[in-house]
Amino acid sequence: MDTPTAAPLLELDNVRMHFPVREGVFLRSSRACKAVDGVSLTLRAGETLGLVGESGCGKSTLGKCIVRLHQPTSGKIIFEGKDLATLTSRALKPHRRQLQMVFQDPVESLNSRHTVGEILSEPFEIHAVGDATSRRASVLALLQKVGLPANAAERYPFEFSGGQRQRIGIARALALNPNLLVCDEPVSALDVSIQSQILNLLLDLQRELGLTYLFIAHNLAVVKHVSDRIAIMYLGRIVELASADAIYQSPLHPYTRALLSAIPRPTPHGRPERIVLQGDVPSPINPPTGCAFHPRCPHATDRCRLEAPSLRPAPHLPGHTVACHYDLP
């Protein structure tokens, strides 16, 4: 959905998540790991926003802030007219139903001692929805929705394959009819033939239920396939945000360009000229001065070493924003 008129469902305003680093003899907290360092974003109702970046860029931390598995250090998370970032857990509870998360590892995120039926009825119990009979009916409806047989309810998570377990994780997230699903690397632990089954399921569910997704992943090809817009993250900040097609066809930030060119393409015939970045991702504990990407950037100047660029609209490209001082050709 590329319509900019779609109503905002969730707004992030300058969200920061700094974790104290305890070190030295007395484990005093002298420095901070700036996992998320000033992210502002709008999620529109019914869209999929892809969030891409490499390990340690803060994409999962940001997802966990949104569902309040982390309480952000500062900034606002506006959802249904309330700032989730500062709500108490009691005040948060009614909103939690609307915000659900699908995790990467379906083995670790499902309690192995509960049957699938128990796992799926838990959300109804926590939020005191329905009685035993209606919960049973809801569990069966959920199983059907995600393509699992009804007898799955009596079985335990270990009896299922990775792809089926991810279906259970998705069913659990859908139990309370949420508006927004934060999907954190939902297919990266799966084999390719199973990955496509789960991606299709997520696309079908979105169409059927009008869901909004924040889709977090490191695989740009997967993200591009499911997303309407894509945000690229580097070291705690968003460096570029645009429609999925624009990110692929006309990436502006040098990091986005390098990331795209680094993806191995499944064809033996020619590939675009590869930009191989030098060096590693720096640590969010001691990030570089100025633009965090400058030590690896082939275009870096003195200005980049001193001054951090903020996210600005790209000239002549509506809806395309980039955090770079320069308009690169």
Partner 1 sequence: MPPVASPSAPPDTILEVQNLVTTFETDAGRLTAVDGVSFSVRRGRTLGIVGESGCGKSVTALSIMRLLPQPMGRIAGGRILFEGRDLAALSPDEMHKIRGGRIGMIFQEPMTALNPVHTIGQQLSEVFLIHRTKSRAEAWLRSTEMLHKVGIPAPEVRMGEYPHQLSGGMRQRVVIAMALACEPAVVIADEPTTALDVTIQAQILELMQSLQRAMGLAIVLITHDLGVIAETCNDVVVMYAGRVAEAGSVTDIFDQPSHPYTRGLLDSIPRLEHPRKTRLNVIEGMVPSLRDLPVGCRFQNRCPYRIDRCATGPALEVVAAGHEVACHRWRELPTR
Secondary structure E strands in the chain: 8-23, 28-44, 48-52, 74-79, 82-83, 99-102, 180-184, 212-217, 229-234, 237-243, 312-313, 321-322
Residue closer to partner 1 (CB basis): 61 or 73: 61
Contacts of 113 (CB under 8 A, 6+ apart): 156
Contacts of 34 (CB under 8 A, 6+ apart): 16, 18, 236, 284, 285, 287
Tell which one of 92, 140, 263, 317 touches partner 1 (CB under 8 A): 263
Q: Segment contacting partner 1 (CB under 8 A): 87-95, 133-141, 273-281, 319-327?
A: 273-281
Beta partners for 74? 16
Tell which one of 212, 227, 256, 321 touches partner 1 (CB under 8 A): 227
- DSSP 3-state of 118: helix
CB of 176 to partner 1, least distance (A): 25
Residue closer to partner 1 (CB basis): 85 or 260: 260
DSSP helix, strand, coil percent of the chain (3-state; round to 5): 35, 25, 40
Which x/- pattern, by CB under 8 A, does the window 79-118 give for partner 1?
----------------------------------------
Q: How many residues does the chain have?
A: 329
The sign of the dihedral angle between the CA atoms of 221, 222, 225, 227 is negative
Q: What is the DSSP letter of 236?
A: T
Tell which one of 141, 194, 209, 317 touches partner 1 (CB under 8 A): 194
Residue closer to partner 1 (CB basis): 124 or 293: 293
In 99-191, where does DSSP find H-type helix?
A: 116-126, 132-145, 162-174
Tell which one of 154, 191, 307, 327 touches partner 1 (CB under 8 A): 191
Tell which one of 32, 197, 288, 326 touches partner 1 (CB under 8 A): 197
Site residue total, partner 1 (CB under 8 A): 46
CB of 195 to partner 1, least distance (A): 7
Contact residues for partner 1, defined by CB under 8 A: 48, 54-55, 161, 163, 191-197, 199-200, 203-204, 218, 220-222, 224-228, 244-245, 248, 258-269, 271, 274, 276-277, 280-281
